Amino acid sequence: MKPIETTRPKTTASLGTDVLSNREFYFLLEKFCLEQIRETAGYDRFLNQYFNDEGYVDLWRIPNLMLDVIQQNVKFQANMAKPEFRTTLQSFVADLYTFCLKAIPTFPASTTEKSDVPVSVSLQNLKAQQHFVQSLMATFIQVLEQLSAEGQSEDAA
């Protein structure tokens, strides 16, 4: 079995791009949004009001918006001018972050159970998972910091 190749991003900007284009992140985002819509009334209204496209919540808009926030490129995001949207988005991102961290297993089964997987592959998987978690944390911190700064600059004006 070939080990997973990992690359380390060189800048914090690429960290955001790395996670926000990751398949695993989209699975987590979809699961979180479905849970919010089906099981709780938490962000159902928010998702449908701001991210609904022709009858369904367009998940692609959320990471794109997060990337715009990281890159401080929100001038074309009209909703960012609305304090209610920004504060709800900040809460949504914080809850999504918590959900993602809870959903990621600390140790993959191949490292804690006897298996046919060589130790080197298990270690590569752990390193890839570590990289994903670190990138996830850095990305969400950047988004939350920028959203907070946007709110503070709006309050000061």
**What are the tens digits of pLDDT across the range 2-41?**
444 444 444 444 555 688 888 899 999 999 998 888 876 6
Closest CA to 19 of 127, 98, 27: 27
Structure tokens at 9: 């991003």
The boundaries of the domain holding residue 23 are 12-156
Tell me what the mean pLDDT of segment 62-71 comes to.
Answer: 92
Is 102's pLDDT higher than 50?
A: yes
In this structure, is residue 144 part of a structural domain?
yes
* 62 part of a folded domain: yes
- Count structural domains, the chain: 1
7 found inside a domain: no
Contacts 24+ apart (CB under 8 A), 22-27: 22/132, 22/135, 24/132, 25/63, 25/100, 25/136, 26/59, 26/63
Does residue 4 fall inside a structural domain? no
Check residue 12 and give its pLDDT: 47
Q: Is a pLDDT exceeding 80 seen at residue 46?
A: yes
1 in any annotated domain: no
Is the pLDDT reported for residue 154 higher than 90? no
Predicted pLDDT of residue 17:
67
CA distance 131 to 139: 12
Q: How many CB atoms within 10 Å of residue 1? A: 9
pLDDT at 50: 92
